[in-house]
């Protein structure tokens, strides 16, 4: 036999074998994944996302303007009511207070002097002058009296008597003048002015003291500082928020539940909270309020459910995005299958059950369910249920089962 003929015979044989293999492969039943129907306790739950908020909280605000001088707290720190949080620079107010206090002391000293009758040196000079004038008056009065008697006897002239009378009048006038001068030292206008200066200084001191007091921003309540972002040197205006403080032993979690699931959510149902930032931790609580209206959230129709969560370690901080699972109800010893195995044909829920090497369509009645499994009726414990596949299944179709 020629080599060329032999080669062609081999090629034809290979092609025939390949064709036979393709036909055989195409006739092989598709491999389909199956799961068993099992009996177990199943808990119906509603899972959704939520955000943590404090139940009781307050804001600490600046009472005056100025740059931040000292920071006495940090985020997450527990504080008591009236504890100092931040100090605003008060150097200018302290200088104003010192100046005002100095003016207060000066005004008080002036008033004390005035209330004692005037300045001591001036009073001493006036008193000394009055005493000298009184002595001169007494001498002049004696001379006048003697000359008056002598004039009656013809021993003194009228001019001498008149001259003596003038000395008496002059002494009396000097005494009255000095007494008026002494009275003028404690005149009402001068004392009123001193009192006005004291009042102004006291008012300035009070205002400076208030500014110094307002320079310390204090905690309005006891709790945890859950929001604080200030840096030293930052400028604050009166009324600016310095920190958020809340009581975090119990917190509120607001979640949005899809409208179809709202019928399963009632007051008092248990709730579990998890947070991606602290894996392995779970916080427990209950549903506190159910929605009173349905609202649109993106493409969803939802109701807002409020949950109260116990937070004894105060580590679940407000503003945290968490996952909430509301436990609606539970059934013991229920027949369950994976939720993804449920199919719908002509509006009827059902599953494909393995019977021998073929799949058979069975209608089912659904009970409660959670995110992964569903309670069903219409199948038996141990039945093999087809899981989703890219290959379309039909009643009586031959398959090759594979189990997960």
Q: Write the CA distances from 122 to 183, 195, 264, integer angstroms.
A: 11, 21, 98
**Residue 63 falls inside a structural domain:** yes
Domain end call among 210, 227, 258: 210
Final residue belonging to a domain, choices 224, 242, 260:
242
Q: How confident is the model at residue 29 (pLDDT cuts 50, 70, 90)?
A: confident
- Same domain as 359, residue 290: no
Per-residue pLDDT reduced to its tens digit, 153-191: 877 788 887 888 888 888 888 888 888 777 766 555 667
Q: How far is the C-alpha of 178 from the C-alpha of 321, rounded, in Å?
A: 90
Segment 132-137 shows an average pLDDT of 86
Instruction: Say if residue 227 is in the same domain as residue 180.
Output: no
Query: How is residue 300 written in tokens?
Result: 């969803």
Quote the Cα angle for 334-339-341, to 5°: 110
Shared-domain flag, residues 79 and 220: yes
Residue 96 has pLDDT above 90, yes or no: no
Percentage of the chain modeled with pLDDT above 90: 45
Alpha carbon 273 to its chain's center? 22
pLDDT digits (tens, 9 = 90+) for 226-255: 999 999 999 999 999 999 999 999 999 999
**Lowest-pLDDT choice from 1-5, 150-154, 252-256, 350-354:** 1-5
User: In angstroms, rounded to a whole number, what is the distance separating the alpha carbons of residues 312 and 248?
Assistant: 8
Summarize the confidence of residues 313-320 as an average pLDDT. Answer: 89
pLDDT of the residue at 7: 66
Residues 326 and 343 in one domain: no
Map residue 65 onto helix, strand or coil: coil
pLDDT band at 26 (very low <50, low <70, confident <90, very high): low
CA neighbor of 323 nearest in space, from 279, 369, 379, 275: 275
Q: What is the pLDDT of residue 189?
A: 61
| 3-state helix/strand/coil string of 36-54 | ECEEEEEEEEEEEEEEEEE
Residue 218 is part of a domain; what is its CATH number? Answer: 2.40.50.100
Q: How many domains does the chain have?
A: 4
Note whether 250 and 308 are within 8 A (CB). Answer: yes
In a domain, 21, yes or no: no
pLDDT on residue 118: 53
Q: Is 55 exposed, middle or buried (0-12, 13-18, 19+ CB in 10 A)?
A: middle
Q: Is residue 7 part of a domain?
A: no
Of the pLDDT bands very low, low, confident and very high (cuts 50, 70, 90), residue 25 is very low
DSSP 8-state assignment for residue 77: -
35 and 62 assigned to the same domain: no
- Which tokens go with 94? 């302290």
16 pLDDT band, cuts 50/70/90, is: low
On whether both 100 and 235 belong to a single domain, the answer is: no
Contact 311, 248 (CB under 8 A): yes
Reference 79, options 231, 220, 206; nearest CA is 220
Together in a domain, 130 and 186: yes
Q: Residue 128 — pLDDT band, cuts 50, 70, 90?
A: confident
Angle (deg, nearest 10), helices 188-214 and 91-115: 160
As a whole number, mean pLDDT of residues 3-7 equals: 64
Would you say 88 and 215 are in contact if contact means Cβ atoms under 8 Å apart?
Answer: yes
User: What range does the domain containing 173 cover?
Assistant: 95-210
Q: How far apart, in whole angstroms, are the C-alpha atoms of residue 338 and residue 366?
A: 12
Structural domain ending residue among the three candidates 277, 301, 331: 331
60, 225, 228, 278, 318 from 75: Cα distances, Å: 13, 5, 6, 18, 12
Q: Are residues 176 and 251 in the same domain?
A: no
For residue 375, how many other CB atoms are within 10 A of its CB? 19
Confidence of residue 312 (pLDDT cuts 50, 70, 90): very high
CATH number, position 287: 2.40.30.170
pLDDT for the residue 167: 87
For residue 297, give every residue at least 6 positions away whose Cβ sits within 8 Å of its Cβ, in sequence order, or none: 256
Same domain membership, residue 133 and residue 74: no
Q: What is this structure's pTM?
A: 0.55
Give yes or no: residues 230 and 326 share one domain: no
Angle (CA) 257-260-266 rounded to 5° is 60
> Does pLDDT of 24 surpass 50?
no
Cα gap 116→191, rounded to integer Å = 11
CATH number at residue 380: 2.40.420.20
User: Same domain, yes or no, for 80 and 217?
Assistant: yes
| pLDDT band, very low/low/confident/very high, at 18 (cuts 50, 70, 90) | low
Closest CA to 271 of 40, 47, 42, 41: 47
One domain, residues 235 and 381: no
* Mean pLDDT estimate for the chain: 86
| pLDDT tens digits for range 105-124 | 888 887 777 666 555 567 67
With respect to residue 309, please indicate whether it lies within any of the assigned structural domains: yes
Q: How far is CA 48 from the centre of its chain?
A: 26
Per-residue exposure over 215-249, b if at least 16 CB sit within 10 Å of its own CB, e if not: bbbbbbbebbbbbbebeeeeebeeeeebbbbbbbe
Question: Does the residue 339 lie in any domain?
Answer: yes
Question: Could you give the CA distance from residue 54 to residue 250 in angstroms, rounded to a whole number?
Answer: 8
Average confidence (pLDDT) over 137-151: 85
- 340-to-39, 280, 345, 350, 387 alpha-carbon distances in Å: 17, 27, 14, 11, 7
Q: Look at residue 165 in the predicted model and tell me its pLDDT.
A: 87
């Amino acid at each position: 036999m020629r080599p060329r003929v032999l080669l062609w015979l081999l090629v034809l044989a290979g092609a025939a074998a390949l064709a036979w293999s393709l036909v055989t492969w195409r006739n092989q039943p598709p491999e389909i994944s199956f799961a068993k129907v099992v009996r177990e306790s199943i808990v119906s739950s509603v899972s959704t996302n939520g955000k943590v908020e404090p139940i009781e909280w307050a804001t600490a605000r600046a009472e005056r303007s100025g740059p931040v001088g000292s920071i006495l707290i940090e985020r997450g720190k527990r504080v008591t009511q009236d504890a100092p949080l931040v100090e605003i620079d008060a150097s200018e107010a302290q200088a104003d207070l010192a100046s005002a206090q100095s003016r207060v002391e000066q005004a008080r000293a002036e008033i004390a002097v005035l209330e004692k009758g005037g300045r001591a040196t001036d009073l001493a000079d006036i008193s000394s002058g009055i005493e000298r004038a009184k002595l001169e008056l007494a001498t002049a009065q004696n001379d006048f009296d003697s000359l008056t008697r002598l004039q009656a006897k013809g021993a003194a002239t009228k001019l001498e008597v008149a001259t003596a009378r003038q000395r008496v009048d002059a002494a009396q006038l000097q005494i009255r003048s000095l007494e008026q001068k002494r009275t003028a030292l404690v005149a009402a206008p001068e004392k009123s002015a001193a009192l006005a200066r004291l009042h102004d200084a006291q008012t300035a001191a009070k205002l400076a003291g208030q500014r110094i007091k307002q320079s310390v921003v204090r905690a309005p309540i006891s709790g945890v500082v859950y929001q604080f972002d200030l840096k030293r040197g930052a400028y604050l205006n009166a009324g600016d928020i310095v920190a958020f403080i809340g009581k975090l032993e119990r917190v509120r979690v607001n979640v949005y539940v899809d409208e179809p699931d709202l019928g399963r959510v009632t007051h008092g149902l248990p709730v579990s909270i998890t947070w991606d930032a602290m894996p392995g931790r779970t916080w427990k609580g209950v549903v506190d309020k159910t929605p009173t209206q349905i609202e649109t959230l993106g493409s969803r129709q939802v109701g807002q459910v409020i949950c109260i969560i116990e937070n004894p370690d105060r580590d679940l901080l407000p503003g945290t995005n968490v996952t909430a699972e509301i436990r609606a109800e539970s059934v013991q010893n229920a027949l369950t299958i994976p939720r993804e195995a449920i199919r719908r044909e002509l509006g009827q829920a059902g599953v494909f059950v393995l019977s021998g090497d073929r799949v058979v369509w069975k209608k089912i009645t659904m009970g409660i369910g959670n995110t992964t499994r569903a309670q069903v009726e219409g199948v038996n414990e141990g039945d093999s249920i087809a899981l989703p596949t890219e290959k379309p299944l039909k009643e009586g179709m031959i398959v090759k089962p594979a189990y997960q």
